[in-house]
Structure 1
Amino acid sequence: PVKIMEFLWNSSAFKKFSLQVDITPAQGEISVGESRFFLCEVIGGAKEIDWFAPTSEKIEPGRLDISVIRNDETSSTLTIYNAKVDNAGTYKCVASSGDREAEATVNLKIYQKITFTNVPSPQEFTEGDNAIIVCDVISSPPPTVLWKYKGAKIQFEKDVRFRTLNNKHLQIQGIRKTDEGVYTCEGRIKARGEVDFRSIKVVVNVLPTIRIRQAETNATADMGFSTLLACDADGFPEPMVTWARNNVPLESGDKYSFNEDGSEMTILDVTKLDEGDYTCIAKNKAGESEQELSLKVFVQPKITYLESQTTTEMDEQVTLTCEATGDPTPTITWSFGTRVFTEGEQSPDGDVLVRSDARVSSLTLKYAQYTDAGEYLCTAHNAIGETAQPVYLEVLYAPKILGSVTVYTWEGNPANISCEVLAHPSDVSITWQRDGFQMPNANTSNIKIYNTPSASYLEVNPESQSDFGNYNCSASNEIGTESKEFIVIPADVPSAPSITQVQPYSSTAQVLFEEPESTGGVPVLKYRAEWRAVGRGKGVQRVYEVKDGLSSVTVTGLKPETDYEVKMSAINGKGEGDSSQSVVFKTEHVREPSPPILEGTLQPKGNSLKVKWTKQDDGGSPITHYLVRYKAVNSDWKPEIHLPNVSEYVMLIGLEWDTEYDVFVVAENQQGKSKPGTLTFRTSSEPAATTDSMEEGTGLNTGVIVGILILVCVLLLLIVDATCCFLNKCGILMCICGKPGQGTKGKDIETGKAAFVQDVSKEPIVELRTEEEATANHDAEGHHEPNETTPLTEPEQVTETATAVVDLPLSVPTNSDTVTDTFDLSQSSPVSESTTLTSSITAAPSDPPNPFHMTPPNSSTPKSHTKPSISSTPSPDPANVTLLVDLGDSPEPQAEVPPVVPSEEPVPVPPSPLSVVQPDVVNSKVTENRKTHATLNPISPQDSVAMPLVNHEHEIDGELPLAPDTDVPQDGSHAVGTAGSSGPSVPAQDEYGSLDAL
């Protein structure tokens, strides 16, 4: 059957009647812009295959939008590229072969997808305009357009400002800044379920608004000053600010400068020409705004005309003129020294007249005198400022003779008569005459004349009464001549001063007096004060120099509770006048000292203070020491500081910066403590760190490093030496350990440990006093230098006393020592520091004097305390002399000692020099005392004689010290021992800061 079919197919008869055309696909539907091809297949063997457009036009090969390709004898392909709506329709494929022909068609449908043809973004509008948001969209069929704002569908019925136009655009009437944001334009085709959208950013620009900071600005001209004009512009986008004056833009340069956004304009070196209106212009996309600002320029006064004048005394008149400019118009005033002239006549007689008119003022002087000559000041002032210039009035006048008419002197004492001359011109001729004769002459050998350009001095040395009387001085210049009589009068001694009040103390008294009614014609040079105990024949005198209006003197060396009488006389160059009436007073009883007067000096470093005090009345008993306390305000007090009685100041170091401090200083004697002298001060602010300080700190760090390296080396050497000592029995330690056991010296040092240390403070305060100091200041602790009138201490009594050495207070007679005739002119305090006081005590000497210990006299004691004894130590070698250490500040019970009775007529006795004590005698006494005293630093007899006794008291806040086992270097005693009254004492230090005391 197959062969039969092939035969029939190939037969010409069958071919003629069976030509067939098929198009694949049979139909098509595409969107605009898409491409599609169709395949035309012919059955029956076609010779030609052609394609025809919907317009029946044959589609020729070679077209760009529609392509026709013959694939082979039986097929052809039609391809449509980027289809358009116009390409839609029925396409026909025609196949022919001879007289045979067949065709097939295909219907092509082309639709428009949703297409946004014009959707600009962003779209900008100006606030307040009717904005139309453009969104052009096409499709086939036409789409439905929806509008959304920030993702939500716009409800047109709720806001009538929004509506959709016929062309699907969105209109917003009176758009606001709040309408700014993202809008969505969405197109839909319901038949195909197609949807598409575009986002549109809407920007609302705001027209600039300008805020003027100051509508009118004032400035001062010709001062080199600058002024600022400012306007703040708001808007969107940020507006750009420019400036103009008289419609001329202003640019940055030598005259104008602007900040970054242009809102501030600075006018440099303001002058009067800069005055006027300025325009601030703000511009952005929304538009332009401008505001006016005014600049008012004021001008300081300036004096433009002023001329000096010259006149002769008592001329009719002279006028000074002054002109000035300024804005506002200045007011002109005149002044002469401290006198200020006002407008109009200045005196009832109209001698001075001031007239002003606008910018001109004149000062007229009628009948000018020599006192009117000098510098006049013209001052012009307005609201902006003032200026002044001097003008000079020169007055020519005859000489004027000055000087005291009366001169006092006495025979044999030269006196100067001063003829001082004022004149203009100053070329003056001066002559002296007496009784019509010019001087000097052959008969006046006792008269000399000294001339200067402005004065002449006549020196008269009266030889007799005839030299007293009148002398004439004449002076002349080109204007005129003037003469003046001078009188030389004999001088007299001053009258007696008047004692108004006596303020007694225990050992001193302050005498207040009034000057003599008559000085005798010459100044009082000195005052003599004489005082004595009532009923005593011999008194004490002292002369006081007159300095700075002397009105009181201080008498010293008085005994407590004793009646005295005092009188005074005045001394001038002529001689001493009569004495005043005696005034009787009684000194006070022995009491505590008066508070010292404090004076503080802040040191250059800024956080250190030197507190200096002036000693006042000692209350009849010598001051034993000073107590210093200080604290920052609103803080606790620092530990109390003990200082020797010879101390005059303390240095407070390492204080806090910029802090207020209170300082109290108390003087203490055997009767008690004085009221505190007070001082308040503030330290400086802490200075900023400088390069020098940094360099200094670097140097210090380097020094520390070097010190550490040296210490490490020393430790290494010690380790090596110790190793050699224990292993090889050699080395430095071995040499030391191999020496004999501890001798007497070591024991003495161990015994003396308790005398120096207490466990209350790590840095105890040491009170230092030397024997020399105690003697010169009565020695309140009771130690007296041995001399011809003091009893010597018996060895037996020494061994019976307590081991702690105590100081007994002086008796009342001892506090009232005889005062030598020493003149002290210092009046800085009620107490004179330089008065020499000596004790005169009678007792028979029994043994050679012992310079290291004396038993104090068994006198009356204001306060008495008992202190436990300290165990004695084995006595040192007799050749070793030790320093005594006072372990307490209160007396121990003593053996009976004969009372010390002051003589009726005290006689000053100089201290016996220690250097004359024989070593043998010293050694014998030390041998007796060595069992009862702690010892340290054995020294030779010769050294012991040269070294003063030192009392070391460790005391904190007035409490007695404890005695822990802490050693003190041997050289410490020598160091403190040399700190006597003639040199600085050892500085005290506590845990709160360094203190240097003197």
Structure 2
Amino acid sequence: MLVSLQVDIRPAQAEISVGESKFFLCEVVGDAKEIDWYWPSGEKILPNRQDVSVTRNDESSSTLIIYNAGIDNAGVYKCVARNGDQDSEATINLRIYQKLTFTSAESPQEFNEGEDANIVCDVVSLPPPRVIWKHKGAKIQTAKDVRFKILANNHLQIRGIKKTDEGSYTCEGLIMARGEIAFRVIKVIVNVQPTIRVRQAEMNATADGELPVTLACDADGYPEPTVTWARDNVILESGDKYSFNEDGSEMTIRDTQKVDEGDYVCIAKNKAGSTEEEISLKVFVKPKITFLDNQTASELDEMVTLTCEATGDPTPSIVWSFGRRVFTEGEQSLDGNVVVRSDARVSSLTLKYVQYTDAGEYLCSARNPIGSDAQSGHLEVRYTPKITGWVTVYTWDGNAANISCEVLAHPAASVAWFRDGQQLPNSNATTAKIYNTPAVSYLEVTPESQNDYGSYNCTASNSIGTESKEFLLIQAEVPSAPSVELVEPYSSSALLEFEEPESSGGVPVLKYRAEWRPEGHASWAQRVYDAKDGGLSQIIVVGLKPNTKYEVKMSAINGKGEGESSELATFKTEPVREPNPPKLEGQLRARGNALKVLWIKQDDGGSPIKHYLVRYKTKDGVEWKPELRLPSSSLYVVLSELDWDTEYEVYVVAENVQGKSQPGVLSFRTSPEPTAIPDTDPSGFGMGAIAGILIVVFVLLLVAVDITCFFLNKCGLLMCISVNICGKTGPGAKAKDMEEGKAAFTADESKEPIVEVRTEEECTPNHDGGCQGEPNETTPLTEPDSPASESTTLTSSTATAAPVTAPNPPPPPPAQRPPGPLRSPAQRGPPGRPGGRLPAQTRRQRLRDPQSPSATNQDTRIDGPDAVAKEVAKEASEASGKPASGPPAEAVAPPPSVTPAQDEKSAVEEESKPEESEVKMAASEIKAVPKEAVLTNANESKA
């Protein structure tokens, strides 16, 4: 017979204060198999907890123990007994109260006279207490004295405290329900209360960091306050962990760890009281990758997973990357091949279908707000060889071609070439050679006949598998004809726009040939242009006759040869007219208020350009600066002493006998005026020190120059000392050799060079109104640069085939030696021709009577040694009646007498828009040459 269960809890009622411990006994009458305790929330209380313990004493009782009770432990607890389908329960209401506790009621408390005094008396309890204040045994009536006020936190405030308010104040706490009372007597002293200024309220630190952390607060007051530091209401002492400066305002924490995180209180005290300020310290832990594995897989056979683990605080985020690709949480591809999963401090990257392109280094990066860490894991993928490379290769007979077989494989593959089933090289394929590198195998084939063209097989093998690929060697053809689409004629030039050939013949087009002639003439003028990477679609034909009909055709050239010519295109040049406006470019000089204006010559209108007119003004101004007239050979002008930070307009006009061109316009702004910033660094060098350094550098430079002169030219201070003191033979010992013809200067003992001034001769106007020395219709729009030009150059096309006057061009002339550099007498060889000496008297006469029509030009340049050598060669050739070969130092106009055949030929620009050229603005050139020089041959001069 079952006996009903009865449950009883002792004690029947419970009331404890915060922090006390209490146990309760649950007794059961009857046979109970289970006795359980339940929280006020209804959840079952599990055993083995630190704050609450449940113990089964015997078959009929169980004990509940609550340690260090807190406010949250209050509520109704339930004990339930069960035996099969029977159960019974009992409850107990646990009430928790807190005794009156004065948490802060210091005595004495000092305040500054005249300030609002806040007498602190913090009392806590549960339920909250009622607080009253008494002074001199009587309750303070705030209604009678408005200076007294009890604040919401039960502190007593005295506005404008006086010395008469000093004394004992009683703070009483009352709990009416329990009749509990407690009080504190606080002595109030009127004084100067300390004040605290915290340098930084929140500090961050890194665990295991090399640098310690310093918390600082500055305290003021009278008397001088003492400063202490506290954490969790515990005063910190100096030791291995903490250290303080002399007045205690700075506390240094060494070997910072995560446990050091928390709030620190700076306390300033004097006779009147204390002031506290709290500083929060946050300690972070840098991420650190603790595990990352390497993996090996075979292509398309396995699923592989890379795992990365990291620690840190805050918890780091983990990101995977492979090359430039970054993987985050979730699937990374539409097919789901790459999946990333993260859980707390662990992240995994899974490849479901491994490909050979997946092999390599995978970077695992862990990052939190204070730092990062990264490590690489390697994925090794084994796969069969993969062959890439151009399938078709074009060449022609006698031209070697490389067929590239690029192999990707792991493990490394062996490569073999086959032709018609036979491995190369063999006795039947003598035109093939094989060159191998770690990643590419090259088959070099030099075709000798049609049999060498066709299919070649590349086979790569490794332990995983074998791969083959067929490559075709095809015979290249000459390109098809380009198409002349548009001709824009001018007076002495024409712009040709053309379409590239439809077929390049399998190999790139290297050059284009343009041929033109006046309508009805039999001979063609021609010029060959290099094809550019970006495609050449425009050329300019210059040096044409005004008001003349022309025919023009073009052909393309590749490595195989020259293709057919395009259909003839006809055009008629315009009559003689004024020039086209020059194209302007500007270069702001380094000083900021000067500009170099460059212009590129355009069509001259069929008549040589006489000069250029330059004028400029400020953009907002109305008055132009005085006009500058520059000779036709000038290509730039420098405008100096301009206003700072001002916008200018520049007009450049070209003029010929027909009139002036439209102006070329250029707008620019000068730089802002620089401001000098005084050197305020007291530790810098003074002017005396700088001057001393400059003197030392100058002396060292002089010594280096003297040593160089001693060894190279046998002169200088060291040479003088060697000759006069050491008896060394001087440079004059070679005078005898010079008299015997072994030196260059045989007619005069003087080695002084003669300065030659070249001026423009007085010219006779031609039929166009220009001088014979001026450019005519055979002159290109752009002139070639001199060797001594600056870094900015104008490049004109280099003709690979000179203009011809017959259908079949004559064979090229034999190569001639260019003018050599000037040499010293010791470097000269024997004279080549006795009659090749330059007339010294003529040069002296020209030096005494120089004439230069462009003497007013702004920029006059003295050519370098290369130009001097070329000028010497030219004059020597004129003296011997033979022209000197090689390009001149300046662009020189053709001679007055031009044969008709020569007049039909013209120079052609390589580009539709010529690039910038450095300009030689002076018509006169100053050349330094020896008094006498012997010409060794018609094309080379040595001085």
- TM-score, normalised via structure 1 length: 0.50
What code does the residue aligned with 1:952 have?
A
Tell me if 1:552 matches 2:533: no
What code does the residue aligned with 1:600 have?
Q
Residue aligning to 1:521: 506
Deviation at 1:372, TM superposition (A): 1.0
Deviation at 1:582, TM superposition (A): 3.9
SS at match of 1:818: coil
Identity over aligned pairs, percent: 53
- Residues 1:567 and 1:980: Cα distance change in structure 2 (over 3 Å): closer
Q: Is the 8 A contact 1:217 1:294 kept in 2?
A: yes
1:574 to 560, 567, 577: 560
Deviates more, 1:225-234 or 1:304-313: 225-234
- 2:240 and 2:490 map into 1 onto residues whose CA distance is 81
Residue aligning to 1:444: 429
Unaligned ranges ≥5, structure 1: 1-122, 132-158, 163-172, 182-202, 703-768, 776-782, 792-807, 839-914, 920-938, 956-978, 989-998
SS at match of 2:564: strand
- 1:410 and 1:499 map into 2 onto residues whose CA distance is 28
- 1:823 and 1:666 map into 2 onto residues whose CA distance is 19
Q: Is the 8 A contact 2:227 2:248 kept in 1?
A: yes
* 1:971-997 deviation digits (Å, cap 9, x = unpaired): xxxxxxxx9779955699xxxxxxxxx
SS at match of 1:555: strand
What code does the residue aligned with 1:950 have?
P
Residue aligning to 1:405: 391
1:284 to 261, 265, 270: 270
What code does the residue aligned with 1:469 have?
G
- 2:311 and 2:673 map into 1 onto residues whose CA distance is 49
- 2:689 and 2:624 map into 1 onto residues whose CA distance is 33
2:495 to 510, 514, 527: 510
Tell me if 1:295 matches 2:287: no
Q: Is the 8 A contact 2:115 2:160 kept in 1?
A: yes
Q: Is the 8 A contact 1:507 1:587 kept in 2?
A: yes
Residue aligning to 2:751: none
Tell me if 1:952 matches 2:912: no
Residue aligning to 1:491: 476
Q: Within 5 Å, give how 1:842-991 maps onto structure 2.
A: 941=845, 943=847, 949-953=852-856, 985=921
Residue aligning to 2:320: 334
* 1:749-806 deviation digits (Å, cap 9, x = unpaired): xxxxxxxxxxxxxxxxxxxx9755xx9xxxxxxx6369xxx79xxxxxxxxxxxxxxx
Residue aligning to 2:528: 543
Residue aligning to 1:458: 443
- 1:637 and 1:595 map into 2 onto residues whose CA distance is 20
1:594 to 581, 588, 600: 581
- Residues 1:235 and 1:565: Cα distance change in structure 2 (over 3 Å): farther
Deviation at 1:489, TM superposition (A): 1.2
SS at match of 2:463: coil
Q: Within 5 Å, give how 1:544-943 maps onto structure 2.
A: 544-549=529-534, 550-560=536-546, 563-585=549-571, 587=573, 590-598=577-585, 600=587, 603=590, 611=596, 613=598, 615-620=600-605, 621-622=608-609, 624-625=611-612, 627=614, 645-648=632-635, 664=650, 666=652, 668-670=654-656, 671-672=660-661, 674-680=663-669, 682=671, 694=687, 784=763, 810=770, 817-818=777-778, 832=796, 941=845, 943=847
Deviation at 1:378, TM superposition (A): 1.6
- 2:546 and 2:469 map into 1 onto residues whose CA distance is 61
Tell me if 1:474 matches 2:459: yes
What code does the residue aligned with 2:855 have?
H
What code does the residue aligned with 1:432 have?
W
- 1:237 and 1:656 map into 2 onto residues whose CA distance is 67
Deviates more, 1:223-232 or 1:562-571: 223-232
Deviation at 1:376, TM superposition (A): 1.7
Deviation at 1:817, TM superposition (A): 1.6
Report how many aligned residue pairs link the two structures.
594
Residue aligning to 1:743: none
Q: Within 5 Å, give how 1:3-22 maps onto structure 2.
A: none
- 1:130 and 1:446 map into 2 onto residues whose CA distance is 108
SS at match of 1:368: coil
SS at match of 2:664: coil
Q: Within 5 Å, give how 1:349-360 maps onto structure 2.
A: 349-360=335-346
Deviation at 1:404, TM superposition (A): 0.9
Residue aligning to 2:300: 314
Residue aligning to 2:140: none
Deviation at 1:266, TM superposition (A): 7.0
* 1:36-60 deviation digits (Å, cap 9, x = unpaired): xxxxxxxxxxxxxxxxxxxxxxxxx
Residue aligning to 2:361: 375
Q: Within 5 Å, give how 1:408-447 maps onto structure 2.
A: 408-426=394-412, 428-447=413-432
Q: Is the 8 A contact 1:770 1:980 kept in 2?
A: no
- 1:917 and 1:130 map into 2 onto residues whose CA distance is 112
What code does the residue aligned with 2:587 have?
G
Q: Is the 8 A contact 2:526 2:802 kept in 1?
A: no
Q: Is the 8 A contact 1:593 1:618 kept in 2?
A: yes
Deviates more, 1:688-697 or 1:642-651: 688-697
Q: Is the 8 A contact 2:593 2:643 kept in 1?
A: no
SS at match of 1:577: coil
Deviation at 1:235, TM superposition (A): 5.6
* 1:478-517 deviation digits (Å, cap 9, x = unpaired): 3332221111111111122233444555543433333222
SS at match of 1:466: helix
> What is the CA RMSD across the aligned residues, in angstroms?
5.5
Q: Is the 8 A contact 1:309 1:393 kept in 2?
A: yes
Q: Is the 8 A contact 2:649 2:665 kept in 1?
A: no
What code does the residue aligned with 2:510 have?
L
Q: Is the 8 A contact 2:652 2:664 kept in 1?
A: yes
- 2:685 and 2:281 map into 1 onto residues whose CA distance is 51
Unaligned ranges ≥5, structure 2: 1-110, 120-143, 148-155, 165-188, 696-756, 787-791, 804-837, 859-888, 893-918, 925-943
* 1:296-332 deviation digits (Å, cap 9, x = unpaired): 2333433222232222323312221111222221221
SS at match of 2:269: strand
What code does the residue aligned with 1:484 have?
K
Deviation at 1:257, TM superposition (A): 8.4
Deviation at 1:335, TM superposition (A): 1.9
- 2:245 and 2:642 map into 1 onto residues whose CA distance is 49
What code does the residue aligned with 1:676 have?
V
- Residues 1:941 and 1:206: Cα distance change in structure 2 (over 3 Å): closer
Radius of gyration: which is bigger?
A: 1
Q: Is the 8 A contact 1:127 1:206 kept in 2?
A: no
Q: Is the 8 A contact 1:819 1:837 kept in 2?
A: no
- 1:600 and 1:359 map into 2 onto residues whose CA distance is 60
- 1:634 and 1:253 map into 2 onto residues whose CA distance is 79
- TM-score, normalised via structure 2 length: 0.52
Q: Is the 8 A contact 1:175 1:204 kept in 2?
A: no
Tell me if 1:365 matches 2:354: no
* 1:895-931 deviation digits (Å, cap 9, x = unpaired): xxxxxxxxxxxxxxxxxxxx99999xxxxxxxxxxxx
Deviation at 1:462, TM superposition (A): 1.8
Q: Is the 8 A contact 2:476 2:505 kept in 1?
A: yes
Deviation at 1:401, TM superposition (A): 1.9
